Amino acid sequence: MMADGLIAAAILGVALATIASRGTFTAVALFIAYGLLLSFAWVRLGAIDIALTEAAIGAGLSGALLLGAASRVAGRGAAMDRRPGRAMTVAIALGCAGVTAALAAAILLLPDPAPSLAPQVAANIGATGLGNPVAAVLMSFRGLDTLLESAVLVLAVIAAWSLAPDDAWGGKPGPMQPVLADGPLALLARLLPPLGILVAVHVLWIGKDAPGGKFQAAAILAAMWMLPWMAGRVVPPPISARWLRVAVAAGPALFIAIGLAGWMTQGAFLAYPPGLALPLIMVVEIALTASIAIALALLVIGPPGRRA
C-alpha cells in the first residue's frame, strides 16, 4: 500500500516535471524515468507482460528515438515554438482539467469487480497449447490485432523512409556515427550484445508459458543492434538491400499466409488446425521477433540522410 502510494506520487511528480522542464534533453530524460516508473506500476498491478513492454518500448526505444530527435533539433538551432497566448493557455488548462475530472468520475463509477474475460480465456486456453494467457489472447483469440500491429510496423518503416531526401534514396539509413575507440559506450557495445541476444531468446521462448514474447524480445534485440551502431562499430545496410526489406516483411507476411491457410483448411482466417496450434504460433512468434527487431531498429536509426 505504502509502496503503491509512493509509485503513484512519483509517477505524477515525474510527469509534471517532464511537462514543466524547459530543456529538451531534461524533458526526454524525465520521460524515460516516467516510463520506467510506469512499468513498476504495471508490476504492482500484476501485469508483467505490460511492464516488460512498457520498459522496453515505452521507456527504452521511445527514449532513444526522442534523444535522437532532441539532438537533431539542438544541432540545427531550431526556433523555440511560439508560446500560446493567455486565452489559449486558459482554454487548454480548462480542457485538460475537464477531461481529467470526467475520467476520474468515470473510473470511480466503473463496476467493481470489473467485468472480465479472464475466465473465458482460462476456459479456452487449452485449444492453443500455450500456458501464458496473454500470449493466447495475442496469438489466438485476438490474433488479428497482433497481425495488424505487425503490419503497422512495416508501414511505419515505409513511412519513415518516405521522409528521406530524394538524392539519398537507396543509401545507408541514419546519421553517420563516429567510431568510438574507448569509453563506456564502446565497452558496452562490445560486452552487452552476446548477453542481450541470449536474454532476448530466453524472453521469446518463455513467452509461451510466462510473461515475455516477441515484442519484448524484439525490443531487446533491436537495442543490441543499436548499441554497436551508436558506438560506430557496425554500419546499417543500405535501404535498397533486398535482404533487409525481405527481413522486415517476412514475419507479417508469414503470419498472414498462415492465417489464409487457416481459412482454406479450417474455414476461418487465423484458425489453427487442431494439434498444430502451438507449433504454428511459435513459428510465427520467431519470425515476427526477427522482423519486429529489425523494424524497430530501423525506426530508431531513421531514414537515409543527405549524402556528404
Query: Which residue ranges make up the site for another protein (CB under 8 A)?
Result: 99, 102-103, 105-107, 109-111, 114-117, 120-121, 124, 140-145, 148-149, 151-152, 154-159, 161-166, 169-170, 240, 242, 245-246, 248-249, 252-253, 256-257, 259-260, 262-263, 266-272
Minimum distance of another protein from residue 92's CB (angstroms): 12
Minimum distance of another protein from residue 8's CB (angstroms): 18
Element (H, E) at 121: helix 118-124
Of 106 and 308, which CB lies nearer to another protein in the complex structure?
Answer: 106
209, 130 in Cβ contact below 8 A?
yes
Residue 153 sits at the vertex; the CA angle it makes with 127 and 281, to the nearest 5 degrees, is 20
Of 167 and 209, which CB lies nearer to another protein in the complex structure?
Answer: 167
Of 103 and 191, which CB lies nearer to another protein in the complex structure?
Answer: 103
Minimum distance of another protein from residue 282's CB (angstroms): 16
* Nearby residues of 21 by Cβ (< 8 Å), 6 or more positions away: 27, 30
Minimum distance of another protein from residue 182's CB (angstroms): 38
The CA distance from 34 to 56, in Å, is 13
Of 35 and 228, which CB lies nearer to another protein in the complex structure?
Answer: 35
Residue 155 sits at the vertex; the CA angle it makes with 150 and 158, to the nearest 5 degrees, is 135
The CA distance from 211 to 202, in Å, is 11
The CA distance from 269 to 258, in Å, is 8
Of 71 and 266, which CB lies nearer to another protein in the complex structure?
Answer: 266
Nearest CA to 68 out of 289, 233, 303 is that of 303
